[in-house]
Amino acid sequence: MRNTIELAERVKHLPPYLFDKIDKLKKQARGKGVDLIDLSIGDPDIPTPVHIVEALKEAAHKPEHHRYPSYEGMPAYREAVARWYKQRFGVSLDAASEVLSLIGSKEGIGHLPLAYVNPGDVVLCPSPGYPVYAIGTMFAGGEVHLMPLLESNGYFPDFSAIPDDVLKRAKLMFLNYPNNPTSALCTEEQFKSAIDLAHKYNFIICHDAAYTEMYYNGKKPMSFLEIDGAKDVGVELHSLSKTYNMTGWRIGFAVGNSDVIFGLGKIKTNLDSGVFQAVQEAAIAALDTNEAALAPLRDTYRARRDILYDGLKSIGLEPMKPDATFYMWTKVPKGYNSESFAVALLEKAGISATPGNGFGAAGEGYIRFALTVDVHRMQEAVERIRKVI
């Protein structure tokens, strides 16, 4: 007789992971022979630039990279990160103490609460927001306090709505700009208000900056660390996934407050063995890429954005035209909620999109489209949606 093996309580109470659920629905649709246009997951369809791939191939032949990597990242990789931050944002970083390699920024988001959050501590999480902010908090035994991101407030948290007793128990706040899923940008004044609050209540800010390099019309998003006092209270996490089409490579970094970097590093040394050093060498090649070389990639996404935005507007929907990210946040039409519209698109149009409520209750009434198909498929997607409305 087979033994009954129960999941841990922390796993039992987890909600279904949004993108795992979407993957299952897509698989079912494809199994039925549906010609699926996938606008759901933020996974670039464009290959990694050739010079990065070549750097990996060359580095993979080096025997020294076939052994365990350094936990915190190769000195050369951390120096490349510091060099890139200075060139891109004008921010100076100590590569030895203020830079840490990550197995993608998702890993850093999930591990940071383990380093600093005790049971009963509060973590302030945006809603709608990347699900891992709350999931990492739950794994650490922390209490999630959701900060609604509303259109009326420019998709930035209203800090005055957070009760004082919650702020007194807060240990960590997650922010994310350019924002996923709304694509909203953050102003210097908004970042400053978050830093002032963190100083007052003595909590850490973790800014998820995965989309700063996906911008249009020259509107370069700023780094949280550009603001005076930011490094005193927090860190910024970045990923090479979206900037250089390297989602499968799993490499990113955390930068900022040296104490917070040290704590995150303590978790990593006990739970993982670092990033394959050949991948780190390829990442150095990526970070040293001339800024001008990325312009064609942005132009590609801008063309897709314009087709989808104009098409959705012509249908009568209300999309938000993004100045950054490769997402389009759109109100669902009357008669639908987020989930029912996503299901209708899948079943009636063969289009997979992400329901806004999957990112949190404040996302109800919206749907997110990813700009991850070429212009011809994007135009076809518009025509298919037109037939559903």
What's the pLDDT score for residue 14?
Answer: 79
More confident residue, 14 or 151: 151
* Residue 316 and residue 389 in contact, taking contact as beta carbons nearer than 8 Å: yes
pLDDT above 90 coverage of the chain, percent:
87
Tens of pLDDT, residues 31-70? 888 899 999 989 999 999 999 999 999 999 999 999 999 8
More confident residue, 242 or 21: 242
| List of residues 6+ apart from 231 with CB closer than 8 A | 98, 225, 256, 257
Residue 321 has pLDDT above 70, yes or no: yes
What's the pLDDT score for residue 267?
Answer: 97
Q: What is the CATH number of domain 50-290?
A: 3.40.640.10
Residue 150 has pLDDT above 90, yes or no: yes
What's the pLDDT score for residue 266?
Answer: 97
What's the pLDDT score for residue 24?
Answer: 79
Q: Name the class of domain 9-47+294-388.
A: alpha beta
* Residue 132 and residue 109 in contact, taking contact as beta carbons nearer than 8 Å: yes
Place 218 in a pLDDT band, splitting at 50, 70 and 90: confident
pLDDT above 70 coverage of the chain, percent:
99
What's the pLDDT score for residue 17?
Answer: 66
pTM of the entire structure? Answer: 0.95
Tens of pLDDT, residues 91-108? 999 999 999 999 999 999
What letter represents residue 99's amino acid? V
- CA distances to 100, 219, 220 from 216, rounded to whole Å, are 29, 6, 8
**Token pair 């009760």 in the structure block, residue:** 163
Average pLDDT in the 68-78 region?
Answer: 95
* Residue 181 and residue 329 in contact, taking contact as beta carbons nearer than 8 Å: yes
Place 18 in a pLDDT band, splitting at 50, 70 and 90: low
What's the pLDDT score for residue 95?
Answer: 98
The whole-chain average pLDDT of the chain stands at: 95
> Domain-by-domain residue ranges, the chain?
9-47+294-388, 50-290
Peptide bond into 296 cis (omega under 30): no
Tens of pLDDT, residues 258-305? 999 999 999 999 999 999 999 999 999 999 999 888 999 999 999 999
Which helix (H) or strand (E) segment holds residue 148: the answer is: strand 143-148
**Token pair 């007789």 in the structure block, residue:** 1
Place 71 in a pLDDT band, splitting at 50, 70 and 90: confident
What's the pLDDT score for residue 31?
Answer: 84
Residue 153 has pLDDT above 70, yes or no: yes
What's the pLDDT score for residue 11?
Answer: 85
* Residue 83 and residue 92 in contact, taking contact as beta carbons nearer than 8 Å: no
DSSP 351-377: EE-EEGGGG-GGGTTEEEEE--S-HHH
Residue 233 in tokens? 């209270």
